[in-house]
Amino acid sequence: MKMLNWQKPRLERRIAGSTNRWRFPKESFSGDLLALSQLCKSLSIDFDEALRSPDRVYVTQIQKLFTENLKNKAIQSGEADVILECLGYKWELHQPQLFQSKTLTRLYLVALSRSTTDPLRELDKLLRAQTPGKSKEPSPIKKMTISLKINDPLVTRVAFASALKNLYMSEVEMNMDDVLGVLASAHILQFTALFQRCVAIMMNGLTPSTIKNFYVAGCKYKEEQLTKACEKWLEMNLVPLVGKQIHLRNIPQELLHKVIKSPSLFTFSEFHLLKTMLFWVYLQLNHKIQTIPIYETVLAFFNSFPRKCAFLDRDTGQCLMPLFTCLRLHGITRGKDLEEIRHINFFPEAWLMRITANHYHALESGGDMAHLKDLTTQAVRFGLLFTQEYTTYSKTIAVYGFFFEIKGIKHDATSYSFYMQRIKHTDLKFPSTVWEHSPVSLRAERLMKYEIRAHTLVDGKWQEFRTNQITQKFGFVKPSCKSHALKIQTVGIPIYASFAFIFPVS
């Protein structure tokens, strides 16, 4: 066999005690098999022994050597070269396809080293037989049997068969119900191209019913891209979508904790987020419930506990403390909502006293939120979910007697703007729904620090738009009554628009 030119590699020397050990740089094997053999000899490494421990000579490089030489080889339809015993089945495979999997490559090399006295010759014979134009008649290659044990419960025979099929076909249709099993199979096979394809399918297939399993799989296989996609999707959809479905029960506490701590979390109001959390706790404790209950049912459940001890102070509630300390309960200012919080007997008395005291001091000082300093982590939040059906959408909010309209406008097919403006309580169209049981402030000006954000999903990627953190005095007449507008260009729908603010000491 004619040896190809190859450059003598740089070696990294590692000393452990008195023993010298050598490691090949990853670019070492740029030549053919004979070059590989000669390199081993130059380092006093037995090539046969190296094949018995394939990782020592970088399976990735051997795999690359073969796949590059065999990539133009047509898919074979004749007798198989390799029999794979796995999951109680015998799978027939051909070598050009087998080398796409690092796991199967390693198993094949180990089997080859054990079944022949000259594994180098067998590898060379394989390479010559498969290289286009080398020989019209295939050289006799010894058929190998390899065995793979799988303990991952996600790997089913159907999913594993689909993964092996992808060795032969690049665009195999994949059912969303099977993608988890195919991902697990690709992980075991170390079939990188298929694994990443599964990840992409899962990232584009996030729904209330799939979010839990996809997130758990991302953690299990240490695929950060997938776990981050799950976290981001849930930040936007926890309150408006997942919180209204029975699938809320399946959200892991760890994931829920990350999401509710995120400054990017979308919610219609702080009270909407609290209600979602109460639903989640209820579903954790009532496993037989198969449909999302009405809110009154949840209230009645927590009110059924003896009133001598708040729910979070009980043994059952102690482990949930980290979740509820992340909530911005200070942002719940509506009188009726505060009455519900006290009546439900869920929060410790010390929490309720602190909330009441903060509200009292804010009202006494004309709305100043002296206890709030950081807009990112402490702001009061309100949100608009701007969907396809809207050309204009607005909502009126009230905080400490100050009334604001938060608004979104669609200007054309891709142009939108979002802003907020102060309004007089006498201008409210439906006053009873907004300021019933609420004070009314007649102050001419109100200092506010605010930020407006918008998120939307376009081609599987989240777009984020935001204003700077702005401090502004709001009056009753233009232009002082209107905030800076967040203007965006996007084809994404829906748009999750968030308005976050605090009233600094004025």
The verdict on 334 and 414 lying in the same domain is: no
| pLDDT score of 18 | 27
- Name the E strands within 314-460: 380-386, 392-399, 402-410, 415-423, 446-458
The backbone torsions φ and ψ at residue 85, rounded to the nearest 5 degrees and listed phi first, read -95, 115
The verdict on 59 and 30 lying in the same domain is: yes
Distances (CA, A) of 451 to 116, 118, 221, 381, 504: 71, 71, 37, 10, 14
CATH of the domain at 391: 2.60.40
Other residues' Cβ atoms within 10 Å of the Cβ of residue 490 = 16
Domain boundary among 364, 392, 407: 364
Domain boundary among 345, 364, 383: 364
In a domain, 305, yes or no: yes
The DSSP secondary structure of 135-197, one letter per residue, reads -SSPPP---EEEE-----TT--HHHHHHHHHTTT-TT----TTTHHHHHHHHHHHT-HHHHHH
Categorise residue 107: left if φ over 0, alpha if ψ from -120 to 50, beta otherwise: alpha
- Mean pLDDT of successive 10-residue stretches along the chain, which has 506 residues: 31 29 30 46 52 51 55 57 91 86 87 66 57 50 82 94 90 89 96 95 96 97 96 98 97 98 97 98 95 94 92 94 96 91 93 94 93 95 95 94 95 96 80 64 92 96 97 93 97 97 94
Element (H, E) at 489: strand 486-489
In a domain, 122, yes or no: yes
| pLDDT score of 77 | 52
In a domain, 333, yes or no: yes
In a domain, 233, yes or no: no
**pLDDT tens digits for range 439-487:** 888 888 999 999 999 999 999 899 999 999 999 999 998 899 999 999 9
3-state secondary structure of 475: coil
The verdict on 384 and 425 lying in the same domain is: yes
The verdict on 380 and 339 lying in the same domain is: no
DSSP 291: S
In a domain, 39, yes or no: yes
- Yes or no: say if 76 and 94 are a contact pair by the CB < 8 Å rule: yes
Closest CA to 86 of 34, 9, 179, 148: 148
The verdict on 359 and 381 lying in the same domain is: no
The verdict on 275 and 324 lying in the same domain is: yes
**pLDDT tens digits for range 264-276:** 999 999 999 999 9
Q: At what angle do helices 335-343 and 295-303 cross, to 10 degrees?
A: 40
| pLDDT score of 335 | 87
Other residues' Cβ atoms within 10 Å of the Cβ of residue 150 = 15
The verdict on 392 and 455 lying in the same domain is: yes
The verdict on 327 and 397 lying in the same domain is: no
The torsion angle over the Cα atoms of residues 36, 39, 45 and 48, rounded to 10 degrees, is 20
The encoded tokens of residue 215 equal 């997130």
Pairwise CA distance, residues 95 & 63, whole Å? 11
The backbone torsions φ and ψ at residue 19, rounded to the nearest 5 degrees and listed phi first, read -100, 130
- Name the E strands within 236-375: none
| pLDDT score of 113 | 75
In a domain, 358, yes or no: yes
Distances (CA, A) of 492 to 62, 264, 413, 464, 496: 45, 17, 10, 11, 10
The verdict on 283 and 389 lying in the same domain is: no
Number of folded domains that form the chain = 3
What is the rounded end-to-end Cα distance, in angstroms, of the chain?
86
The verdict on 352 and 455 lying in the same domain is: no
Q: Give residues with Cβ within 8 angstroms of 181, minimum separation 6.
A: 154, 155, 156, 158, 159, 160, 162
Distances (CA, A) of 32 to 59, 74, 434: 14, 22, 78
| pLDDT score of 78 | 64
The domain of 432 spans 375-502
What's the half-sphere exposure (Cβ side, CA atoms, 13 Å) at 129?
16
Pairwise CA distance, residues 401 & 434, whole Å? 10
The encoded tokens of residue 80 equal 């198989």
